[in-house]
Amino acid sequence: MDVKQGRVVLTAGLRALALALLSLAGSLTLFLLTVVSLVLVPLGLGLFTTPWVLAGVRAHADRRRLLAMEWCGVRIPPAYRSIPRDARPWTRTFRMLGDPATWRDLRWLPVDMIAGFVTALLPAALVFYPLEGFALTFGLWRVFTDGTYVGWWYGFVPVSGQGSALLAGLLGVALLVASYFLTPALLRVHFLLTRSVLAPGQGELAERVRVLTETRRDAVDSSAAELRRIERDLHDGAQARLVAMGMELGTIEALLEKNPAKARELLARARQSSAEALDELRDLVRGIHPPVLAERGLGDAVRALALRMPVPTEVSTDLGGGRADAPVESAAYFAVSEVLTNAVKHAGADRIWIDLHHVKEGAGVLRISVTDNGGGGARVGAGSGLSGVERRLGTFDGVLAVSSPAGGPTMVTMEIPCVLS
């Protein structure tokens, strides 16, 4: 057997085992919590608990979407309606319950804890169940039988002695050979089942258009705000310095003959003002579109960004020498910049890792993960700037997933569909 393929099969088996546990324990727990919370809605208490429970369900579903893309290249697009961050609990409850995507998630929970558990357990069993057959062959059968009765069943083989134990070993070999060819495909079946329930259907195309319209409107509003910021920075910064420098030059011209010493002093001050104005203009241009991003591409721009961080930051990139469209690169760059700022400012991290690569399956996806060893607790909508990142990515039909348990670490994963030139 090919060693590389063997590693792929073993990895798929371990992932399938983890998915089986996640499907059974995670989906079952969230399903029960959701039922209890919805029952409490008429009593009033559910109005406060339901948004938190449904946010947990969405995070659980988003995590499965992320794993589907990372492990098998199965893309499951989300289509959640946006909710204002400052909305009251009861408003959030009814907005979330009025979202068709919420009910897709809730339908998916029982499917995941039953059919999802089975479809995840099957590839795991193909990889690990043969180990029991081999153990029976090499003497474990003696623990379960004294040779006079059937003490153990391995599959459809009743093990009562060394002969039947050998048959169990042969069955284990057959299962192991089958796992070599079937395990990765069966793992993909699990995610295809998930997509069949979570993905929006054709009847929800209008809803998808509405979501995209909202993200485009947010992008237009953000662009208008950015233009106002640039205008304000120019007016209060470089423009004011240039006006002052022009006045100083006029004074210098008048003092050249009357007071040369004073003129030289003002000339030095004007030179300093021109240097400061130039620095401000460079900072402003860098904030609009960093020169290194235009000249060297996203990978080098992120490395340059990491070098300016006050904490050690490691960057790993694999873009295959290609480049995404300029708007996509710009969105990705500023999204990474915002996440890094959050890691230093709010998480108290002292080490950060950035992984940036392009997945070529399907139409292609630019995937960026930023991991820090800070205190955790980050979430979208908590005032950490992640909501702005999510809106920025949504303009390009991208997604944001945050894994940040209390105590850390925090991992923020961003995906933007794109192709590289």
Q: What is the pLDDT of residue 225?
A: 59
Going 8 to 13 to 18 to 19, the CA torsion angle's sign is positive
- Closest to 365 in 3D by CA, of 66, 60, 59, 14: 66
Highest mean pLDDT, choosing among 65-74, 315-324, 342-351: 65-74
Report the SS3 class of residue 365. Answer: strand
Average pLDDT over residues 354-360: 84
**Do residues 180 and 5 make contact, with C-beta atoms less than 8 angstroms apart?**
yes
Average pLDDT over residues 306-313: 84
Q: pLDDT tens digit string along 51-85?
A: 999 999 998 998 899 899 889 888 888 777 767 66
pTM: 0.53
Report the SS3 class of residue 402. Answer: strand
**Do residues 268 and 274 make contact, with C-beta atoms less than 8 angstroms apart?**
no
**Share of residues in the chain with pLDDT > 70 (%):** 80
Query: What span, in angstroms and rounded, lies between the C-alpha atoms of 112 and 66?
Result: 16
Average pLDDT over residues 314-336: 83
Q: What is the pLDDT of residue 361?
A: 60
Q: In this model, does residue 128 exceed pLDDT 80?
A: yes
Q: In this model, does residue 120 exceed pLDDT 90?
A: yes
Q: What is the pLDDT of residue 309?
A: 81
The whole-chain average pLDDT of the chain stands at 80
Residue 108: pLDDT band with limits 50, 70, 90: very high
**Share of residues in the chain with pLDDT > 90 (%):** 19
Instruction: Tell me which of 14 and 291 has the higher pLDDT.
Output: 14
**Do residues 336 and 301 make contact, with C-beta atoms less than 8 angstroms apart?**
no
Query: What span, in angstroms and rounded, lies between the C-alpha atoms of 284 and 280?
Result: 6
